[in-house]
């Protein structure tokens, strides 16, 4: 298939592109900069210039393809509502270009925030009042002749080149001279390696039925004290608990996220698509060292 991929040069996208190419698909990647275009070309993908706000470009890219994978999202936590609106418009534009064609359309969402303190499954429905309504926007096309599916990612998608939450925790630990965790650290984060996630995106593209909700969860819930412990050991810093009410002061905007208890399961996804993650888990990945030598958060 000729697959149009938004976010193709991003952290997850740069793993999805070779996964698709290795399976014999052609990839057309959305690129908003010369650097992104060069990276896509070097990976063997075709380049389609534009960005999430350029709806004409999105429409053209989708119309000329056999399938679409939507990975791009503006992670601006200072104006998350606006980022969510941009995402919704992008999904609606891509979906409209596919109506009546039965072409695959794979959209990215997240597991965090669906429920607190219990294991989230693929049967859980997201709250349409949340700022990011990717699922609702995508699933509205399931009855309009689009083979749309949603892949939910966990808070931590890890691997070399990660520039998400975990590198930020490392940066904070360096700045504070301690690797801290909120409360007793028993709250849990699910995780997946970027290459395992990439495989699930390909399987969704090839095999998922319309309306599928899929979980890219390799590890269902890692206690955050264990994450802090590995960070502290690698940085040779003390590992310390802090009161939950002090998390925002210590971690900044990340304090709220690092305090969440958001375990999740992928049992239904594994059964449905025969997806079996094989890459290192988050703690093992941290112990490989690349987070501490080439951490993007450190050089930011």
Other C-beta atoms within 10 Å of 200: how many? 28
* Per-residue pLDDT at 79 exceeds 90: no
Percent of the chain at pLDDT > 70 equals 97
The answer to whether the beta carbons of residues 195 and 126 sit under 8 Å apart is no
Question: Looking at residues 192-218, what average pLDDT do you find?
Answer: 98
Q: What is the number of residues in the chain?
A: 300
* Per-residue pLDDT at 129 exceeds 80: no
Question: Looking at residues 185-197, what average pLDDT do you find?
Answer: 97
pLDDT range class, residue 131, cuts 50, 70, 90: low
Question: Looking at residues 251-261, what average pLDDT do you find?
Answer: 93
CA distance 49 to 87: 17
CA distance 186 to 51: 40
Angle CA(298)–CA(284)–CA(217) in degrees, nearest 5? 95
Lowest mean pLDDT among 88-97, 119-128, 185-194: 119-128
pLDDT range class, residue 300, cuts 50, 70, 90: very low
In this predicted structure, what is the pLDDT of residue 127?
A: 78
Lowest mean pLDDT among 19-28, 40-49, 107-116, 274-283: 107-116
In this predicted structure, what is the pLDDT of residue 294?
A: 55
> What's the start-to-end Cα distance of the chain, in Å?
38
Lowest mean pLDDT among 1-15, 118-132, 228-242, 257-271: 118-132
CA distance 187 to 263: 8
User: How does DSSP assign 52-63, residue by residue?
Assistant: TT-HHHHHHHHH
Count CA within 13 A, CB hemisphere, residue 238: 6
Percent of the chain at pLDDT > 90 equals 87
All structural domains of the chain = 2-155+191-218 (3.40.50.720), 157-190+220-264+279-299 (3.90.25)
pLDDT range class, residue 133, cuts 50, 70, 90: confident
236: left (phi over 0), alpha (psi -120 to 50) or beta: left
Question: Looking at residues 26-39, what average pLDDT do you find?
Answer: 96
In this predicted structure, what is the pLDDT of residue 49?
A: 96
Compute the CA torsion angle 183, 251, 218, 281 (nearest 10 deg): -90
Compute the CA torsion angle 268, 274, 275, 279 (nearest 10 deg): 130
């Amino acid at each position: 298939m000729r697959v149009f991929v938004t976010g193709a040069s991003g952290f997850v996208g740069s793993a999805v592109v070779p996964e698709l190419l290795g399976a014999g698909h052609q990839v057309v990647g959305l690129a908003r900069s010369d650097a992104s275009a060069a990276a896509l070309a070097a990976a063997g993908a075709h380049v389609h210039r534009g960005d999430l706000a350029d709806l004409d470009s999105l429409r053209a890219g989708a119309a000329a393809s056999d399938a679409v994978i939507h990975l791009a999202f503006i992670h601006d936590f200072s104006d998350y509502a606006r980022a969510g609106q941009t995402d919704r418009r992008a999904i609606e534009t891509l979906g409209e270009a596919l109506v009546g064609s039965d072409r695959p359309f794979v959209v990215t969402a997240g597991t965090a925030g669906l429920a607190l303190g219990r294991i989230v499954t693929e049967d859980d429905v997201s709250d349409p009042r949340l700022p990011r309504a990717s699922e609702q926007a995508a699933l509205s096309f399931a009855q309009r002749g689009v083979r749309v599916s949603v892949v939910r990612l966990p808070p931590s998608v890890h691997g070399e080149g990660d520039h998400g939450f975990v590198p930020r925790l490392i940066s904070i630990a360096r700045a504070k001279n301690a690797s801290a965790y909120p409360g007793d650290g028993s709250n849990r984060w699910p995780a997946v390696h970027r290459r395992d996630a990439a495989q699930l995106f390909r399987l969704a593209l090839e095999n998922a039925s319309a309306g599928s909700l899929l979980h890219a969860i390799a590890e269902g819930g890692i206690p955050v004290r264990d994450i802090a412990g590995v960070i502290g050991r690698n940085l040779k810093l003390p590992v310390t608990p802090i009161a939950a009410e002090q998390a925002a002061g210590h971690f900044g905007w990340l304090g709220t996220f690092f305090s969440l208890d958001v375990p999740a399961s992928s049992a239904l996804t594994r059964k449905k698509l025969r997806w079996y993650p094989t890459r290192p888990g988050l703690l093992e990945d941290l112990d490989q060292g690349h987070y501490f030598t080439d951490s993007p958060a450190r050089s930011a």
